[in-house]
């Protein structure tokens, strides 16, 4: 029978000082605290990959920003994923990519990239007019909206005020009917 690991406490963590080399304090269930030579303290979850069976360290955060209780909670969540045959590090990375795609692919970011490609194909005055129209009428409402969440009814509702003002030409330009 193997020896039972002594669980960490806030007192032990605070008392951990840097040494000549990095070292690890073990809490149990795969939770580790790496104390770096510069004095920083990093939480790791050490586990076997569910398919390849290779040893993997997954960073959970830094101490004291992530206290011991939250680090233990993250470890329990990761162990639940492992029990279901899911690699917690791969899932975290996938969720992060999804979140990043949502924030990076906002209407304003996509419109800016499109404008950079198209602005040299038209006159400078026309390019400025397009950008001014987007800036005045579209970006305030849709600028931070992810492209995947923009629907035709949303765009129609946005362009209705232009239509009622008699600016049909501008409204048609925005929907690309010109």
Q: What is the pLDDT along the chain (178 residues), one digit of tens a residue?
A: 455 667 888 899 999 999 999 999 998 889 999 999 999 999 999 999 988 889 999 999 999 899 999 999 999 999 999 999 999 999 999 999 888 877 788 888 888 988 888 888 888 888 888 888 888 888 888 888 888 888 888 888 888 887 777 765 654 555 554 4
Q: Cα(86)–Cα(136) distance, rounded to whole angstroms? A: 47
- Both tokens of residue 88? 């917690």
Prediction pTM value? 0.60
So what's the pLDDT on residue 146? 85
Question: Per-domain residue ranges for the chain?
Answer: 10-86, 107-175
Q: Cα(148)–Cα(101) distance, rounded to whole angstroms? A: 10
So what's the pLDDT on residue 77? 94
Q: With contact defined as beta carbons under 8 Å apart, do 34 and 22 qualify?
A: yes
Q: Cα(136)–Cα(124) distance, rounded to whole angstroms? A: 18
Q: Cα(122)–Cα(118) distance, rounded to whole angstroms? A: 7
Tell me, rounded to whole angstroms, the distance of Cα 4 from its chain centroid: 37
Q: Which is the CATH superfamily of the domain at 10-86?
A: Integrase, DNA-binding domain (3.30.160.390)
Q: Cα(72)–Cα(29) distance, rounded to whole angstroms? A: 9
Q: DSSP 3-state assignment of 41? A: strand
- Both tokens of residue 131? 């950008």
């Amino acid at each position: 029978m193997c020896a039972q690991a002594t669980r960490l406490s806030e007192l032990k963590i605070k008392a951990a000082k840097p040494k000549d080399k990095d070292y690890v304090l073990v809490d149990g269930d795969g939770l580790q605290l790496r104390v770096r030579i510069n004095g920083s303290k990093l939480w790791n979850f050490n586990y076997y990959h569910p398919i390849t069976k290779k040893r993997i360290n997954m960073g959970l955060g830094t101490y004291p920003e992530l206290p011991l209780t939250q680090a233990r909670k993250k470890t329990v969540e990761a162990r639940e994923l492992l029990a279901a045959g899911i690699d917690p590090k791969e899932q975290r990375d996938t969720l992060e990519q999804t979140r990043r795609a949502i924030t990076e692919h906002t209407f304003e970011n996509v419109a800016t990239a499109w404008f950079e490609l198209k602005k040299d194909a038209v006159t400078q005055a026309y390019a400025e007019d397009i950008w001014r129209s987007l800036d005045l009428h579209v970006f305030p409402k849709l600028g931070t909206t992810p492209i995947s969440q923009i629907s035709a009814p949303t765009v129609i509702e946005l362009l209705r005020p232009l239509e009622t003002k008699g600016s049909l030409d501008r409204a048609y330009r925005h929907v690309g009917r010109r």
